Amino acid sequence: MRVDEAGLTNLRLLRGDAVDLLRECVPPGSLAAIRIFFPDPWPKRRHHKRRLVQPPFVALAASRLAPGGVLHLATDWAHYAAEMLAACVGEPLLENTSAADDGWTPRPAARPETKFERRAGLEGRDVRDLVFRRFPSPHTFTH
């Protein structure tokens, strides 16, 4: 209803599994950005395989980004954050935009604060942001 009220015509809402939607509904190289804030951390070790941000998903996401497109991730679970960083660093289509030695990006002011982020602060967990950019072409790397 808010989309209609605002008169937006450049927005599409899809309901379903993110992996299936990216694979089946989004053409390669068509997105300017993918933002995933506080995905389910599946904290129990036996459930880690259910986490969204893993190497196969990062490869799919990177393939759907246009050259120069951004993949922005945020989580408050330290172990998951490390896995996200490793998955993104391991994807040859992506480069980390962070200048920090640890690879994390300071919280961008444009990222909306979520209830998960507020809860993490109350519980003493640090929030980590990652911002990666799609290389201009698969064979162009900057150093």
Q: CA-CA distances (angstroms) from residue 32 to 27, 58, 76, 83, 90?
A: 12, 15, 25, 24, 21
DSSP per-residue string spanning the chain: -HHHHHT--S-----S-HHHHHHHHS-TT-EEEEEEES-----SGGGGGG-S-SHHHHHHHHHHEEEEEEEEEEES-HHHHHHHHHHHHT-TTEEE---STT--BPPPTTSPP-HHHHHHHHTTPPPEEEEEEE-SSTT----
Q: Which of 4, 17, 20, 40 is catalytic?
A: 40
Residue 129: active-site member: no
Catalytic residues: 40
